[in-house]
Each structure stands twice: as C-alpha cells, then as structure tokens.
Amino acid sequence: MAVRKRGDKYHIRFFHDKKEAWVTTSATLKRDAQAIEQDVKRALRTGDYSNLSLESRLVAIRLFQNQKWEIPKALLDAGSSYLIEPETKEKLTFWKAIELFLMYPEVKNSPNRERHIAALGNLIEEFGKDYPVNELWIPQIKGYQIKRLKEGAKASTINKEKAALSKMFKVLSELKYVHVNPAQKVPYLSENSDKRHVYISFKDFHVIASAMPEWFRPIVQTAYYTGMRRGEILGMTRRKVNLTKRVIYLAPPDVKEKDWKRVPIHRDLVPILEEVMSANVVGLDRLFLRNGNPVLHKNQVRWPWDEGMDQLPDFSPRPHFHDLRHTFKTNARRSHLNPEYVSAIMGHAGRAKSIDEGYGWISDEELVKAIDQLTFDHGDTVIWTADAK
C-alpha cells in the first residue's frame, strides 16, 4: 500500500533511485494524500516541478531531505518564486505566511522543519488558511492554548505549536511583514503534568528488544547501552565509531548541544556494533541500514517501535523509545557513576555547564572505565505518567 494512515495523518511510500522512502503529509483525507502521491510521482519521473501544489511541493522537498539527497534546483526554484514578488503585506494570509516561513533559508534545511510543519498544521486547522496574519494576536493565541487543553492535547505539544508560531513570526519580522511577534508575549504552559517517570528493567528490556524487527534491534540496544538520543543514533557513521578505543565521536552538528561529544561503548554493546559494522555496503558510511538503505528519519524508528510494542500488550502505559535514555540515566545513578562523567556522556542541551564541568579534561580512557562500571539490573519496570499514577 503506497498510502497509509497513522494517527490522523497520511504517509506516502515512494520508490526513487531504487530506494524506498516514507514521507509524512499534512493530508487528513485519503483522496488528498493520493492526489499528492500522483503529483509527486509524476514530477519525480519527468523532472518538472513547476505544476506542484504547495502540499505536493513540501512532500517532494521532504522526501529529498529525509533521504539526505540533493534537492533538485528545479524543485527549489519552483517553490521560491513567490519570494521575489510577495503579496501585499495587508493581505498576508496564514497559509502564505507558512509558505514564506518554510522556504526561508534557515528553516528550509533545518532538522526541525518537519516538526514545524506538524505544529503549524494544527494551527491551520483551527484558524484556517485564509486567516489574516495581522489579526492573529495575543487573545487568539491564548484562546487556542485553552481550547487545545480542553481537547486533551498535552502542554508539551501545545508549547511546540506556540514555538513554531513564534519562529514563523520571527521570519515574517525579518522579511518586514510584521513588526511585533505576538507569540513571544504569550507564556508557555507548565509541562509538569506531562512529565513521565520511566525505568525499564533489564529483563523487560530484553523482552522489548526481542519483539523488535531484526534490523531495528541494534538501534534499540544502542539507545539502551549509551543513553544517546534518537537523532544521534541515526546519524552514526562507521567513521564515528572506534571499536578499538570503544568510543563514538560526535561532532557539533550531530548533537542537540551543538558541541563535541564522546560516547563510550559498553563492553556488552561491542559485539552488537561489531556485527552491524561487519555488514559492509559499498558506498555507504551510515551505520544502521534497512534493506541496504540508511535509516534516517524518525518515523523509521517510531513505526517499528510501535509495531513491536503492539506485540506486548501487557505494558500499560507503553514505554516510548526515548524512555531508554531515561533508563540509562537511572542505571548510571544506581551504578554510582560520577555525575560529571554521566553528564559528559549524555549531554543536556537545556543546562549550562557548571564551573567544575567547564574546567579539566575527561579522557577517552576515563569514559570507557566509567561505562564499564555501569550495571543494568536495578529493579522492576516503573512507568509513571499523570494519567496512570
């Protein structure tokens, strides 16, 4: 099936350059997703992107971005002509504002672009495509927050939507369409009620890992043994993994903190990575592959995780992939690892370094010695959420 619904969105499967790729759309109706599919397939086949609708153009661009392919100049040119002669500022609609935002240089190649699209899609459903941007002000944004809470949306989700809206207004300000960013004047909602407290026992981790597809299992194991984020794992290449030193080297573009990072490889993870690296694919440096193709997109993690958890109905609430990172932190603390080493291994983008952390150098050998002190059997599984406390 080339069009599949997950949640309230449709996803399209494409085969391009002999590779399979799934792309998320903003379509909520199957017929719209099928129309996008036909438009994009025709454009890919002919190389003519000039007649693509906005939705189809965004899907085509997302396809190339997700696969790390070079975006055809014709596709970018077809979608950027409106930047030359924009509509009058008085008539700027919400939809046109989103167009301008998504094609802005720093947004167009941002790894968070798809998140912005999803967030703004929810706002579009509320206000409509033709809503005048100059009428979107503080009361409307606060009213949207209240309505979304009543609908059952999490505060963290609503905050992501407000953040995307604020970024959009920032771009409009730089383009001289607006002079004030109203989203900046609206406070974020408290996320305390959304917080999850999760620990996955060593026994349950093996149950979960065994339920995952074979190609996906090493990704899950890497997350559990290292505490790395999903994006850091998917970005791993063979050149970044030194099995002799037992260290993974990540550059600033690879991590959320935008700083150099070294992740030691636990002795139990070594044979797993050795097996992954033994599967040499000519011309590919990416570490994790599926059917010979790099695993690049977050949905390529989300879907197999959800399908694996579908086989384990006894978990309620269900663990998330990111809970493996929480579990690593708990195991590190219960193994009495030096907090400075744990912080260096995991990284925390939202926290400034202390004076002690800002001085001194932690060697690779110290990190490896620390990770070998990590043990994993520290109690039963606990999944605490506000809904299931």
Residue ranges of domains in the chain:
1-80, 86-194, 197-384
Q: Are 21 and 11 in contact (CB under 8 A)?
A: no
**Tell me, what's the pLDDT at 256?**
80
**Tell me, what's the pLDDT at 85?**
37
For residue 317, which phi and psi values (nearest 5 degrees)? Answer: -65, 160
The stretch 43-62 carries a mean pLDDT of 80
- What's the CATH number for 86-194? 1.10.150.130
Task: Choose among 261, 264, 220, 262: nearest CA to 243.
Answer: 264
In which residue are the tokens 């059952």 written? Answer: 152
Distance (Å) of CA 312 to CA 165, 208, 225, 318? 38, 8, 22, 9
Mean pLDDT lowest among 74-78, 88-92, 224-228, 304-308: 88-92
Of the segments 90-94, 205-209, 233-237, which one has the largest average pLDDT value? 205-209
Return the DSSP state at 349: T
207: left (phi over 0), alpha (psi -120 to 50) or beta: alpha
| CA atoms of 257 and 346, how far apart (whole Å) | 10
CATH architecture of 197-384: Orthogonal Bundle (1.10)
Residue 345 pLDDT greater than 80, yes or no: yes
- Beta-strand ranges (E) seen in 117-273 are 197-199, 241-242, 247-250, 261-264
Return the DSSP state at 286: B
pLDDT in tens, 212-252: 999 999 999 999 999 999 989 988 999 999 999 999 999 88
Task: Choose among 125, 112, 190, 188: nearest CA to 151.
Answer: 125
Query: What's the predicted TM-score (pTM) here?
Result: 0.63
Pull the structure tokens for residue 374. 């990590």
Pull the structure tokens for residue 246. 């037992």
Q: Are 379 and 200 in contact (CB under 8 A)?
A: no
The stretch 341-370 carries a mean pLDDT of 75
Residue 333 pLDDT greater than 50, yes or no: yes
Q: How far is CA 336 from the centre of its chain?
A: 31
- Mean of the per-residue pLDDT values for the chain? 84
